[in-house]
Structures are given as C-alpha cells and as structure tokens.
Amino acid sequence: MFTILSRIIKYGILGFRRGGWLSAATVAIMVLTLLVFEGLIFFNVLTKIAIESFQDKIDISVYFKAEAPEDDILKIKSSLESLAEVKKVEYISRDKALEIFQAKHEKDQTISEALDELKDNPLLASLNIKAYNSSDYAAINNYLSADSFKKSVEKISYAQNSLVIERLTKIISTAKKAGVFLTILFAAVAVLITFNTIRLAIYSYREEIGIMRLVGASNSFIQGPYIFEGIIYGLIAGVLSFIIALPLIYYTAPYIRVLIPEMSLWFYLLSNIFTLLFYQIIFGIVLGAVSSVIAIRKYLRV
C-alpha cells in the first residue's frame, strides 16, 4: 500500500513538472480565485464589526410632552427595560437635556443669548433606547406607539434611523452577493483550466496509460497521479495566495481602521493566521481535486 501511494505521489509530481507553463497558468488562476475567497472572508468579518459598531451608535429616542410627570416617564422606562429586544434605556430629564445642549453649543453666541432670553426650558425629557439588533427597533417603535402612551409621548425618532439602517443593510447585502458571485466565477474558471490541464496530461500520456492497463494496473493507481496533481495545484495556490494577501492586508489595514476604528485587520490576521492559512489550503486542495476528478471521469475511461 505504501509503495503504491509513493508511486502515485511520484507520478503526480512528475506530471505537474511536465505541465510547465500550463501548470503555472493553472496555479495563477487558482491563486486569483483563492484571493477572492480570502477577500470574502475578510469582508464578512469587516461587515460584522461594522454592523456591530453601527448598531452601537444607533438608537431611537422617545420625547415626552412638557407636562408629562416624571413618574410616568420612569414607569415607561421600566416597561421598556423588561422587553427582550431592548439592550439599554437612558433617561434624560429636561434639565439634563438643557445642560447637554448648552455644552454642545457653548461657542455659539447666538444660541447662548437666545437661551438666556427664554424664561422656560424649551427642551423635552426623553428616553434613548438601544436594541440588541437593528431589526428590533420596529417592534420597540410599535410598542411605544400604543394608545396607553399617547398622552405622555410627544414623538418617536424611529423613521429617520430606520431609513439609515435599511440602506446600510441593502448596501452590505449587495456587496456580499457581489463577493460570492466573484468567488463562484473565479472558482469556475479555475476548475475549467485545471480540468483542461489534466485532460491534456491524460491525452499526452495515453500510451503510458494503455501500457499500465495491459500490465493490470488498478483503476486507483491510474487515476491517483492525476488527482494528486490537482491537489498540488491547490496546495501551491493556497500557500501563494496567502503570502500575496499578507502585504495587501498590512498596507490596507490603516485605511480600514480610519473607517472602522474598532477593527484592526492586521491584528485579526495575526490572531487567526493558522486558521486562515488552513482554510486557504483546504479550499485550494478541494478545488484542484474536484477539477481533476471531473477530468478523469470524462476523459479517462477506467
């Protein structure tokens, strides 16, 4: 068994070396495919962090009428905190709202003078509500729109936030679909080229294959070298694609951090370097092996 396996490996390596430029072209296409695949992995990580960061910054506010008693507002706050969708509720009184507003516009002389002329606080008390997921805000909005709250509630700032969340979700969904499409496209091209490489190898060695059949070689022994050749393509492409990705990620990481401060792409790579390399190699090997099997079944009648 060991002898057969060693010969399969030997002939597989020999077939890869004989392929010359065709083998190099096959590896190059597979490298591009695996780079897209790796890019899709990082894109999914980035979108997940971006969504979590965005959700942390998004909330909805419910503003209460000036005459609404504070006890009623605190009761509504308690009822909101009991909802499964609600992560956090912050109460901002009218006085606190005025302090925040003044601090924000302390350098604006016109606004400061206007506030000084007013005898009464023009701002309303509010509750700032954070949900666990962006999709939960609709349920919270429906809860606050109940008739029992209408006597106290002035307005709910749900509409403008929901529009932003919906647009972001659509952009991310479209980008993900585009990434998947590119991966499938490059994978199909890689399979096609590897398929043709193996097919040409089978055609070139048809006399040797005929002799092997005559001397009683088993099907697995005849097929093995070509499958191993496909595995070599995938293995080399997996390692090369990962090596090429390292400087790309290193130089793009600072720009991505400007957009998403919570995400350090380079640190993520270093923390998961062996896992990511494993995924690249496995995906490459599977891609090469599948291409070889398809070619063998179509052109190698054993």
- Could you tell me if 204 and 253 lie in one domain? yes
Predicted confidence at residue 118, as pLDDT, reads 67
| Residues in contact with 119: Cβ distance below 8 Å, sequence separation at least 6, in sequence order | none
Domains contained in the chain, number? 2
In this structure, the answer to whether residues 35 and 94 fall within a common structural domain is no
Instruction: Answer yes or no: do 274 and 172 share one domain.
Output: yes
User: Which of these three, 151, 175, 209, is where a domain ends?
Assistant: 151
Which domain covers residue 99, as residue numbers? 66-151
CB 191 within 8 A of CB 233: no
* Same domain flag for 174 and 248: yes
Residues 31, 236: Cα–Cα separation, whole Å = 8
Cα separations in angstroms, 207 against 4, 112, 141, 195, 204: 20, 94, 75, 20, 8
Same domain, 111 and 236: no
Torsion of CA 223, 224, 227, 228, to 10 degrees: -160
Do residues 103 and 202 share a domain? no
pLDDT score at 188: 76
- Is residue 98 a part of any domain in this protein? yes
Burial class for 58, CB neighbours closer than 10 Å (0-12, 13-18, 19+) = middle
**Domain annotation covers residue 161:** no
* Per-residue pLDDT at 243: 92
Residues 79 and 194 in one domain: no
Same-domain status, 95 and 47: no
Residues 256 and 203 grouped into a single domain: yes
Q: Which residues of the chain fall below pLDDT 70?
A: 1-5, 7-9, 11-12, 15-16, 18-20, 55, 108-109, 111-119, 159-162, 165, 168-169, 172, 179, 190, 194, 197-198, 200-210, 212-213, 217-219, 298-302
Same domain? For 30 and 85 the reply is no
